[in-house]
Structure 1
Amino acid sequence: MAMRRWLAGALAGFITVASAGAQEPVLPQPGDACAKDTGCAVASGSYRIVLPPQASRERPVGAIMYFHGYQGSAEETVTDPGLLAVARRLGVALIAPDGAGRTWSYPGSPARNRDEFAFVGQVLDDVAARFPVDPRRILASGFSQGGSMTWYLACRMPMRFAAFAPIAGAFWEPLPERCDGPRPPLIHVHGTSDMTVPLAGRALRSGARQGDVFRSLAIIAPGGCTAAWAETARTASESERLTCRVASGCSGEARLELCLHAGGHWADPAWVERAWRLAMPASEPLSAARRPLTSP
């Protein structure tokens, strides 16, 4: 109820901060030992990756793992000028898993193509083995069905990512009873006029039902911290104004934030960049004491 009361007040005004100036997007680079046409193969599927030129084994970089929406593809993700520009400004890799059947088979989804959690674990392990990517500095993000996939990774695989930035997605019915801990930061963006994935969710003709964003936040929240929300004064999008609130009283230091805009079902790469700058840990050398995590 506290979240819904805030929503009514939040729509009265939007807070805007100019984003960084536009830069020329980087072009996709071929991955080590990965087929040009199909990308990098793992047991359950494939993915594509774009590395910044400065990446090396002596200087591993962070990464954004971005999950495409329904009927999207990894190829479309790694050729998206906005996402490439964000990766270039941040100096990070862009990792794009490919959905089986151009969709995702998370709990509640109409698709039943594969075990997505096993697949994501395979991708993370393969990236760590092949590329100079710091496994402790990977942000999971995605749009629409990819946003819902990001929610489920935050719930089921929180230790494999440093932060989560879902856009226009949520848990699906039946909602998870609980989520594994601890909770890394999660920054969610959603349009209040979104009719494709409404804030309250909706039933589909297949019989599946999208979940409620506010109920999803209550489930993912560490220590029941959705009871009180404090308004923030920063967003990073010129193209769409955001109103953002951060949950207070959370156990630990995990950031839980909801950002709303007045538009519909779409995504701005600047929102992913903002999430990275707010939530990601600083880079530090890898050591034997901080070796990469293994698959769940």
Structure 2
Amino acid sequence: MTRFLLLLSTAYMCATSALAMGPWKGNAAPCGGDLACELGERSYHVMEPEDWDGVTPLPVLLHFHGWSRTGKHAQRSDRVGASAKRRGVLLVTPNGRGKSWNFWTAGTEDVPFADAVLDDVNRRYPVDQKKVYVSGYSYGSAMAWRYVCQSGADVAALLAVAGSIDQTETCPQAPEEVRHVHGLADQVMDFPMGPGGDVTYPVALWRRAFGCNGAGAPQKDWQARSFLTFSRTSWSCAGRDVTLDLHPGGHFIPHGWIGRQLDELLGLTPSYP
């Protein structure tokens, strides 16, 4: 009798645990952390936030890694992975084919691949559909631009770091908000200086797409760390916002930048890290 009650108790606990995880994980092969989520011939990585209860819908950050990297590198980065994890955001990092991305043309296979990644994430997790963000670094930033350009209608914000597509392109879709950061001394993904030395040119495509006129509104300089100062300019146009952060450095993910954007988007008190 005691053994029967023990088995019954164990079965109840397992069933309760399964319900807590939610039905979205029921038929999905396990993955997470270093264990990639397989998707046909390709894959991605996913990292759950700290202290998630297994039920509450999650904001999602879809992040495209830099050239010669993988999704695992972004997961392990304090400037990407830890920033998302601390803020209750599900981090999703696709693996580029050949550790790179084809962001050059609208017909790239990487856009439908990213769509498939998000579809798979929605099968595995309860996603807050109003808080899907897309980011990337370097080549990955250019891929993030390409993705929202072709398939960004349901994206709440683009968070781009040191990379973009050609500013003369016309995009069939767009996110609700654009935030871009670039170093003035970047010589890897060269800073896209505009005609006449226009330093706001890195977001010219979106300003044109959103009907933003004028030079933008300078905002107060800010820092996440004392050794790097950001100069911010913003535009608010027809219900869509564009923010450009510039710094004097080169080609890197600035300490605290992604975390600061997530804080502002999620209505959290800005913090570091």
Of Structure 1 and Structure 2, the greater strand share is in 2
Structure 2 equivalent of residue 241 of structure 1: 229
Cα displacement (A) at 1:228: 2.7
- For the pair 1:223 / 2:215, whether they are aligned, the reply is no
Match of 1:135, SS?
strand
TM-score by length of 1: 0.71
Match of 1:136, SS?
strand
Aligned-partner residue type, residue 244 of structure 1? R
CA distance in 2, matches of 1:231, 1:256: 12
1:193 counterpart (185, 195, 203): 185
C-alpha contact (below 8 Å) 1:243/1:259 kept by paired residues: yes
Match of 1:195, SS?
coil
C-alpha contact (below 8 Å) 1:155/1:220 kept by paired residues: no
Aligned-partner residue type, residue 99 of structure 2? R
CA distance in 2, matches of 1:223, 1:159: 13
Match of 1:279, SS?
helix
Cα displacement (A) at 1:183: 3.9
Unpaired stretches in structure 1, ≥5 consecutive residues: 1-30, 202-211, 283-296
Change (3 A) 1:279 1:36: closer
Cα displacement (A) at 1:84: 3.0
Change (3 A) 1:261 1:123: same
Match of 2:98, SS?
helix
- For the pair 1:99 / 2:92, whether they are aligned, the reply is no
Cα displacement (A) at 1:180: 2.6
Specify the structure having the higher radius of gyration (Cα).
Answer: 2
Compute the RMSD of aligned alpha carbons: 2.8
Length, aligned pairs only: 235
C-alpha contact (below 8 Å) 2:33/2:47 kept by paired residues: no
CA distance in 1, matches of 2:220, 2:204: 23
- For the pair 1:180 / 2:167, whether they are aligned, the reply is no
Match of 2:171, SS?
coil
Structure 2 equivalent of residue 72 of structure 1: 69
Q: Which one has more relative contact order, counting CA pairs under 8 Å at least 6 apart?
A: 1
Of Structure 1 and Structure 2, the greater helix share is in 2
- For the pair 1:122 / 2:116, whether they are aligned, the reply is yes
TM-score by length of 2: 0.76
CA distance in 1, matches of 2:231, 2:34: 41
- For the pair 1:84 / 2:81, whether they are aligned, the reply is yes
CA distance in 1, matches of 2:192, 2:241: 23
